[in-house]
Amino acid sequence: MNIPSWRAVLPLAAAAILAAPLAAPGGPPAAPAKATAKAPAATAPAAQDIQAEPPPFTEGIFPCSQCHDKAGDPTPRQLAFHDDLQAELHHGPPTRWCLDCHDNAKRDFLHLINGKQIPFTESYELCGQCHGDKFRDWKVGVHGKRVGMWNGKKTYFLCVNCHNPHNPRFKALKPEPPPIPPQEQGR
Amino acid sequence: MSDRNRLPVIQEGPAGCGAESPSRRDFLRTAAAGAVIAAVSGCKPDAVVEELQRRHLSELSKDQLQAMLGKLEKKWSAQFGKPVTVGARQPIPGVNFGYGLDLSRCIGCRRCVYACVKENNQSRKNPQIQWIRVLQMEKDHGVSLEHATPYYNPEKVPEPGHFYMPVQCQQCRHPPCTKVCPVKATWKTEDGIVVIDYDWCIGCRCCTAACPYGARKFNWAEPNLPAAEMNPVTDYLGNRPRPMGVVEKCTFCLQRSREGRYPACVEICPVGARKFGNLLDPESEIRQVMDRKRVFVFKEELATEPQFYYFYAT
């Protein structure tokens, strides 16, 4: 148990954890596969879509069970250790608490409201409990990003590839340079 | 409706000359003759003669087309110092492309602009050519060109009170640009993409004036394309290097999309605001957008019927 490295890692970890291995064995969500074009003739048949590589873990952070080997105190409180994560937690009401999403008994898993444990690779199920409209859109490719073939195999990104689950609002970016006005182009 | 296809100016040509302007034909014959004379006198204009004598792309046989592409590949491979391929990809049967852009997501970061420049071998500066123009608009005024600027440059985007509307070729179903072309150097293809034969373009810029979206860009000077940054996978009607004095514009990255890949702007977008697919496939992403979201086309009142749709996901 190497506490220092963990601390450094935590902000990342949350997002990173959600990802782990590629295309879940249980199969990716039904819908993204469905979006694969059944275009007339010549185009690719139902190809298995690929889940994007999640943001990388910081070394030594996962599995969580390295430290959390058994269920802990479930009472919401000010944490002494994961305090940095707690500080940046801006997701829904202030009463939001780690164990709303993270499973207490099996720390390497998340859990749904109904208690079902899900791996980090299927975190979209968890997000979809509250964000059902986005979840529906995401499943058919209207929300979120995909790369690859419009008529075949594509890589789809998880919620956590773009949204930090602890602080999900999309961060502002520095824009690329503006175009040069014609009067400055010196024809 | 014939008035859709022709403008009175063009109709003045002699009957039976097809869509091509007779004056261009005559001019080329004269020019070719001149070149032959030059050849006799010792210059080596074979290539020039051949180029001037070539027929419209639609009239070329397969062999002629291949020969022409081969020559271009050789020329540009030498010029850019890497193996350049020039394809002539055909529309995929049963495909009609549609593009969706989510105005509620776009943050105006311009990543798409530069991904496009890179993929499509646009001139980097002097002249600077960009097929995508991102307009910053005011939420108070909605989609209004009177309250829009492409020159915003804050530290961070999005800026409060503003939204962003990227504009590129809308691939209209009734494209005003192709109607006004006096030499048929630009036309609409079966998968919906409006293409330009840069070798056939005479640089009159009628199309640039006709386009209500400002989508067409003119090479006022010799394009400035650094060899190291040149994308060697090209298509004759798409991203191949252009000469000075011709018009160019977005082609939905036909060198990619006709091979089943997403256009470069779709893949770069950090917020997933750009959607692309086959309008004829009910399961495609673009159709899902049209089924579920509030969709509009830009300048609908002009009846250009774009295949580029803006929508609000939220």
Please indicate if any CB of chain A lies within 8 Å of the CB of B270: yes
Are B176 and B188 in contact by the 8 Å Cβ rule? The answer is no
CB B130: neighbour CB atoms within 10 A?
22
SS (HEC) of chain A: CCHHHHHHHHHHHHHHHCCCCCCCCCCCCHHHHHHCCCCCCCCCCCCCCEECCCCCCCCCCCCHHHCCCCCCCCCCCCCCCCHHHHHCCCCCCCCCCHHHCECCCCCCCEECCCCCEECHHHHHHHHHHHCHHHHHHHHCCCCCCEEEECCCCEEECCHHHHCECCECCCCCECCCCCCCCHHHCCC
Are B85 and B196 in contact by the 8 Å Cβ rule? The answer is no
Residues contacting residue A56 through CB under 8 Å, at least 6 positions apart: A12, A16
Å from A81 to nearest chain B CA?
33
Please indicate if any CB of chain A lies within 8 Å of the CB of B294: no
Tokens found for residue B241:
């290097």
B128, B138, B123, B208: which is closest to B169 by C-alpha?
B208
Cα–Cα distance for residue pair B106/B109, rounded to 1 Å: 8
Using a 10 angstrom Cβ sphere, with 0-12 exposed, 13-18 middle and 19 or more buried, the burial of residue B307 is buried
Cα–Cα distance for residue pair B132/B290, rounded to 1 Å: 23
Q: In the prediction, which pLDDT does B49 show?
A: 79
Q: What is the pLDDT of residues A75-89, one digit of tens each?
A: 998 888 888 888 889
Tokens found for residue B240:
């191949």
In degrees and rounded to multiples of 5, residue B280 shows phi and psi of -85, -5
Residue A4 has pLDDT above 70, yes or no: no
Q: Which amino acid is at B162?
A: H
Q: Is the dihedral of CA A107, A113, A118, A120 positive or negative?
A: negative
**Chain A residue at shortest CA distance from B130:** A179
What kind and span of H or E run contains B266?
A: helix B264-268
Contacting residues of A for B110, CB less than 8 Å apart: 175-178
Cα–Cα distance for residue pair B139/B9, rounded to 1 Å: 42
Q: Which of A34, A149, A185 sits opposite B128 (nearest CB)?
A: A185
**Tokens 């940095």 sit at which residue?**
A84
Q: What is the pLDDT of residues A15-63, one digit of tens each?
A: 443 343 333 333 344 344 333 333 333 333 334 688 887 776 666 777 8
Point out which residues pair with B174 in neighbouring strands. Answer: none
B200, B202, B204, B248: which is closest to B223 by C-alpha?
B248
Looking at the predicted complex, does its ipTM rise above 0.85? no
Q: Count how many Cα atoms sit within 13 Å of the Cα of residue B44 in the half-sphere of its side chain.
A: 0
Spell out the per-residue pLDDT of chain B, length 314, in tens.
Answer: 444 554 444 444 344 444 445 566 666 666 666 555 555 554 456 777 777 788 999 999 999 999 999 999 999 999 999 999 999 999 999 999 999 999 999 999 999 999 999 999 999 999 999 999 999 999 999 999 999 999 999 999 999 999 999 999 999 999 999 999 999 999 999 999 999 999 999 999 999 999 999 999 999 999 999 999 999 999 999 999 999 999 999 999 999 999 999 999 999 999 999 999 999 999 999 999 999 999 999 999 999 999 999 999 98
Contacting residues of B for A151, CB less than 8 Å apart: 92, 95, 260, 277-278, 281
Contacting residues of A for B167, CB less than 8 Å apart: none
Q: What is the pLDDT of residues A134-144, one digit of tens each?
A: 999 999 999 99
Q: In the prediction, which pLDDT does B52 show?
A: 77
Please indicate if any CB of chain A lies within 8 Å of the CB of B109: yes
CB contact under 8 A, A150 and B107: no
- A145 or B7, which is more confident: A145
Q: Which of B126, B153, B284 sits opposite A175 (nearest CB)?
A: B153
Q: Which of B158, B260, B281 sits opposite A172 (nearest CB)?
A: B158
Q: In the prediction, which pLDDT does A139 show?
A: 92
- Cα diameter, chain B: 70
Cα–Cα distance for residue pair B7/B177, rounded to 1 Å: 11
Provide the b/e sequence for A75-109 (b: ≥16 CB within 10 Å). eeeeeeeeeebbeebebeeeeeebeebbbeebbbb
Q: What is the pLDDT of residues B51-103, one digit of tens each?
A: 778 899 999 999 999 999 999 999 999 999 999 999 999 999 999 999 999 99
CB contact under 8 A, B285 and A170: no
User: Which of B89, B90, B95, B292 has the highest number of chain A CBs within 10 A, making it the mutation to test binding with A?
Assistant: B95
Q: In the prediction, which pLDDT does A58 show?
A: 62
Tokens found for residue A183:
């009067």
Q: In the prediction, which pLDDT does A1 show?
A: 39
Q: In the prediction, which pLDDT does B276 show?
A: 97
CB contact under 8 A, B260 and A41: no
CB contact under 8 A, A179 and B93: no
CB contact under 8 A, A35 and B113: no
A169, A149, A93: which is closest to B105 by C-alpha?
A169
Q: Which amino acid is at A154?
A: K
Are B82 and B98 in contact by the 8 Å Cβ rule? The answer is no
**Chain B residue at shortest CA distance from A44:** B260
Q: In the prediction, which pLDDT does B142 show?
A: 94
